[in-house]
């Protein structure tokens, strides 16, 4: 179910790039709601440790895959809606399809079509804090996320192939919406081989692992939250403080 070496080599360039919505808030006025270019994303990552939302990361990853000679294209659900989520399908040398989702901070891409390597059971090592199971149908595929406590959630993705123009247009719509602050990051803690999932949302933060959910203590100021976010996301502290100023703080 693992992607071939050439796809993984590109994917690994993003191992330390988190997903967030605070970057688009920081640059909201400067970019006049438009989608950032790949060159801008690289500059902002190098300067501030900033990643971006799912559209940013899909556009950036698509450019890197294409540069490496790998065919890829965008897919998603609710594509031009406020609930939109985007990911990519990257094609192997034999045309087999691999689902690549940096927006949800997958550990690595996964095969989504049946062949002699397809495994129907639950798998570890693809998504932080959960096992996954892929079910492929004619026009869509389902991904089940299975937690150790028995909780199961599911996403369904149409196999609709969107164009690069669709991707940019949907990205523009997403960039124009400033909603609640959200940050997600794959994390490998010292002393363990497991990749976990750290998340900040609605002024709460927690970390998911195969052993369960660790809810972190709540904080009492934006500056304290900025410090925690900067530490876990690998972002510049002053950048995070400025970005959080765009969001209403919920007093606890």
Instruction: Pick the closest to residue 244 from 55, 28, 15, 14 (CA basis).
Output: 28
With residue 241 as reference, give the H or E element that holds it.
Answer: helix 237-244
Residue 185: inside a domain = yes
User: Do 185 and 233 contact (CB within 8 A), yes or no?
Assistant: yes
pLDDT at 57 over 70: yes
Q: Which residues neighbour 149 within 8 Å (Cβ) at sequence distance 6 or greater?
A: 212
For all residues of the chain together, what is the average pLDDT? Answer: 91
Number of domains the chain contains: 1
pLDDT at 252 over 60: no
Please report the pLDDT score of residue 233 as a whole number: 97
Nearest-angstrom CA–CA distance, 170 and 224: 34
Which position has the token pair 């659900």? 77
Please report the pLDDT score of residue 205 as a whole number: 96
Q: What is the pLDDT of residues 3-36, one digit of tens each?
A: 999 999 999 999 999 999 999 888 876 656 688 8
Residue 188: inside a domain = yes
Nearest-angstrom CA–CA distance, 100 and 110: 7
The domain of 210 spans 180-244
Residue 232: inside a domain = yes
Instruction: Pick the closest to residue 202 from 223, 189, 218, 224 (CA basis).
Output: 218
Nearest-angstrom CA–CA distance, 36 and 47: 15
Please report the pLDDT score of residue 107 as a whole number: 96
Q: What is the pLDDT of residues 155-171, one digit of tens each?
A: 999 998 999 999 998 88
Which position has the token pair 């100021």? 221
Residue 190: inside a domain = yes
Residue 237: inside a domain = yes
Instruction: Pick the closest to residue 31 from 182, 178, 245, 192 (CA basis).
Output: 178
Of 78 and 41, which is predicted with more confidence? Answer: 41
Q: 3-class DSSP state for residue 197? A: strand
Other CB atoms within 10 A of residue 114 CB: 13
Reported pTM: 0.92
Residue 206: inside a domain = yes
Please tell me which of 2-11, 31-40, 136-145 the model is most confident about, judged by mean pLDDT.
2-11
Residue 251 — pLDDT band, cuts 50, 70, 90?
A: low
Please report the pLDDT score of residue 249 as a whole number: 65
Which position has the token pair 């599911």? 154
Q: What is the pLDDT of residues 87-115, one digit of tens each?
A: 999 999 889 999 999 999 999 999 998 88
Nearest-angstrom CA–CA distance, 96 and 118: 11
* Positive or negative: CA dihedral 64, 78, 25, 248: negative
Residue 76: inside a domain = no
């Amino acid at each position: 179910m693992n992607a071939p070496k050439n796809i993984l080599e590109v994917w690994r360039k993003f191992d330390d790039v988190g997903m967030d919505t605070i970057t688009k808030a920081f640059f909201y006025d400067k970019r006049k709601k438009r989608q950032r270019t790949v060159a801008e994303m690289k500059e902002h990552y190098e300067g501030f440790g900033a990643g971006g939302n799912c559209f940013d990361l899909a556009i950036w990853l698509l450019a890197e895959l294409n540069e490496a000679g790998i065919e890829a294209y965008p897919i998603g659900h609710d594509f031009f809606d406020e609930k939109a989520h985007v990911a990519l399908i990257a094609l192997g040398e034999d045309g087999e399809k691999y689902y690549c989702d940096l927006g949800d901070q997958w550990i690595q891409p996964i095969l989504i079509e049946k062949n002699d390597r397809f495994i129907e059971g639950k798998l570890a090592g693809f998504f932080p804090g959960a096992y996954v199971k892929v079910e492929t149908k004619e026009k869509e595929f389902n991904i089940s996320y299975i937690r150790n406590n028995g909780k199961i959630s599911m996403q369904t993705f149409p196999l609709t192939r969107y164009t690069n123009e669709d991707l940019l247009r949907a990205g523009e719509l997403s960039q124009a919406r400033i909603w609640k602050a959200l940050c997600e990051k794959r994390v490998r803690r010292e002393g363990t081989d497991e990749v976990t999932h750290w998340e900040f949302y609605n002024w709460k933060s927690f970390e998911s692992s195969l052993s369960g959910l660790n809810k972190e203590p709540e904080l009492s100021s934006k500056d304290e939250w900025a410090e925690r976010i900067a530490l876990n996301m690998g972002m510049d502290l002053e950048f995070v403080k400025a970005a959080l100023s765009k969001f209403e703080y919920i007093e606890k």
